[in-house]
A and B are shown apart, each in its own frame.
Chain A
Amino acid sequence: MEHFLYFFTFQDSSIAFIVIGITLLGIGSAYVGTFSFLDKKALLGDAISHAVLPGICLGFLFAEEKNPIYIVGGAFIAGAMATFLSSWLNENTKLSEDTIIASILSIFFGFGIVLLTVIQKTGNPEMAGLNQFIFGNAIGILEEDLWVYGGLAVLIILTLTVFMKEFSLMVFNAEFGKAIGYPMGRIRLLFNVLMILSVIIGIQAIGVVLMAALLITPGAAARFWTDKLSVLLVLAGAFAVISGITGTYISYVIPQMPTGPWVVVSLSLLALISFLFAPKRGMLYRYFARKNYLRKTQNEHILKSIFKAMEEGKSGLTIEEIYQLYPEQKKQSLKSIKSLSKSNHLVINQNIIYLSSTGLTEAKRVVRLHRLWESYLNEYMNIAPDHVHESAEKLEHLLTPELEALLESRLNYPKLDPHQENIPRDHD
């Protein structure tokens, strides 16, 4: 608790600095990452973040110390080379995209390891700081580095906001953008530059290997909550900031803990919550929506079967007869009958199940939709009468009252369907 208060009241100005830094970098990389996620190029970020390692080492070798300018410069060149190579290979060889990305990633990283061992052999005492780039340590960032990284993050956020329209064109419909005269090639180039920069500012805090998570996960998680780009970007930024601060806090409380892994774990937790509980796209929502739909279908099937029995002159059906009609769904049928009689759609008298007046109206509606759709397919789509049943079996549960009215007027209120069966109406 003591730690918690000390950390979050920002009494220590260096903590305040780091939190501001991680907030900026979280927003920046989540922004860039969301665009590349929508572009279905999420793993390119992973390739770039591995690929900057040799650049960092070379920058270190040239400057002979941990100079942020040299390191950012080296990392940028390496990242740009990796990006260029992967798009060149994509255009000029028959290799698939995933093979290219995996190759680039591992080759650059392997070369980075060679350089790391070379630096190790030089015995430079500042070498220890280089390991931070692999796993990340936000607490270890120096204030002067923070100015460089923070400034770059602000630059990324501003550029993305100013060119929002251009980048969404690139992601959603690059061909269209080209046709109306946007320089799509240059826009993509600028985007790649921003992507490389966002990787570079992230690695010191998150680490080379895990940087991909900060690019991919916020966008993927936020996508479950909204369809609007602006909301998506804000949410993704918020997820990244929350996890960034959580990770920093943990590595502040437990000093030997690297920051990156905890940022990733809390980000993944937010993502998992989104995947499970988000409205509309979330798994729970979809599970219940599906269950509801299945229940509704089975209810309507039972009403329909009793109505058809009435057409044949019976007054109702026994439960065994219903089971025979749907031998695979005995359990659901029983459930449906119970709930339908509770809602006064069915009346059960001496083991025979009848339709009540509300049940009759509902049953008529389902049968009417089924037969109207059959007529429509037959008349407007020229489908033979023996081929229309399957489609109508599905559409009878889905057609809305508006569509029903439209069908009625298009077909001019028909009396009979293509099988010469009566189309039931309420006033019959």
Chain B
Amino acid sequence: MISFDQNAFLIIVTASLIAISCGLLGVFMMLRKMAMTGDAISHAVLPGIVIGFFVSGSQRGLEVIIGAGLLGILATLMIDWLRKRAKVQLDASIGITFTLLFAIGIILINIFAYKVDLDQECVLYGEIAYLPIDLWITASGMSMGPRITWLAVLNLLLVTGFIWLLFKELTLTSFDENFGLALGIPAGAINLSLMSMVSYTTVSSFEAVGAILVVALLVVPPAIAFLWTKALIPLMKLTVVLGVLISVLGYYLAFWLDSSIAGMMVTVAGIIFLVSAVLKSKKAKFSFGTQEKEKSFTT
């Protein structure tokens, strides 16, 4: 019997919260075939984070979140502008946008390196392991528990609130944008608000899992779920379950191997992804789970 480890519990809970927030948004990104746009946004928020950091002088400032949110929206608009106005093909628009914004972010980090304490490795990889010592102390000196956990709770509340409020609109515009437009749903505004939620989630999670690994949590759990089911509600439920599973397994494996927790979470997700892909592949050479289904298909 393993004794109850409060730190491990906190880290796993926080990681699960972040994975669930990212996964739920990721489901809609995937259905819109915008997985790479999510990737682009998570790279592109970097200059916003750096500028916000420089203005406020701390990683905790509201300016950081605002800066990153603005940059996320800017990235979306820039991709759109390149594609529609400058007539660059979509994949190249995404590639040009995120590399440029990310490059500017790295340059800014190097320019401000002596003025602010911002470590590019921390922004990029995150270090969730330090979470238990980074506490939220109220003005009266009372400790409320880890700050990042509270941020993750707030983020999850906002994400679920956002999806719950706009569920119909999000679903409609994900599957049939033109039908949505015909019903009078402002598809462009819905799209932008989804992108701003993604950029907010990226910023809110970057301290814990790092800006780049947010992409993995955004894309991989929904992709695994999509291999097993096509219906929207089961897709979202499965994504949530996967988020928790990845966090638990990732934490203990990282603990065991003494390595990055966020990286290990992604590795676990990757293994589940590849196993699912092999099991559910169309050819199904290794058909353990699919045999029965194939029979019922032929009869």
Residues on A lying within 8 angstroms of B by beta carbon are 37, 40-43, 45-46, 85, 89, 91-96, 98-103, 105-118, 121, 131, 134-135, 209-210, 212-213, 215-217, 219-220, 256-258, 260-262, 264-265, 268, 271, 275-276, 281, 283
- Residue pair B277, A110 in contact (C-beta under 8 Å): no
Give B contacts to A, CB under 8 Å: 30, 33-36, 38-39, 43, 82, 85-89, 91-92, 94-96, 98-100, 102-104, 106-107, 110, 113, 120-121, 124-125, 210, 212-213, 215-216, 218-220, 222-223, 226-227, 254, 257-260, 262-267, 269-270, 273-274, 277, 280-283
Given contacts A118-B259, A217-B95, 18 further A-B contacts (CB under 8 A): A37-B92, A92-B281, A94-B227, A96-B35, A99-B33, A101-B35, A101-B36, A102-B39, A103-B216, A114-B259, A135-B106, A135-B120, A213-B96, A219-B92, A220-B95, A257-B107, A258-B110, A264-B99
Select from chain A the residue with minimum beta-carbon distance to B105.
Answer: A261
Instruction: State the majority secondary structure of interface residues on A.
Output: helix
Instruction: Please state if A106 and B110 are interface contacts (CB–CB under 8 Å).
Output: no
Cα(A262)–Cα(B110), bound, Å = 12
Query: Do A43 and B270 form a contact, CB below 8 Å, given A99-B219, A117-B263?
Result: no
Which residues from chain B contact A212 at a C-beta distance below 8 Å? 95, 98-99
Kindly state the separation between the CA atoms of A156 and B26 in the bound complex, as whole angstroms: 38
Cβ–Cβ contact A102 & B43, under 8 A: no
Q: Which residues of chain B have C-beta atoms less than 8 A from A46's C-beta?
A: 95
Question: Chain A residues near B34 (CB, 8 Å)?
Answer: 98
What are 27 A-B contacts with C-beta separation under 8 Å?
A: A42-B91, A93-B280, A93-B282, A99-B223, A99-B226, A101-B35, A103-B35, A103-B220, A107-B267, A107-B273, A110-B265, A113-B213, A114-B264, A118-B258, A121-B258, A131-B121, A134-B124, A212-B99, A213-B95, A213-B100, A260-B106, A261-B102, A261-B106, A262-B103, A265-B103, A265-B104, A275-B82
**Is A117 a contact of B260 with CB atoms below 8 Å?**
yes
B residues within 8 A CB of A260?
103, 106
Which chain A residues lie closer than 8 Å to B265 at the CB level? 110
Q: Across the interface, do A110 and B223 meet the contact criterion of CB distance under 8 Å?
A: no
Write the chain B residue with the least CB distance to A97.
B33
Cross-chain contact B99 with A268 (CB below 8 angstroms):
yes
Cα separation A109 to B267 with both chains bound (whole Å): 9
Bound-complex Cα distance A368 to B99 (A)? 54
Question: A261 with B104: in contact, given A92-B277, A216-B95 (CB under 8 Å)?
Answer: yes
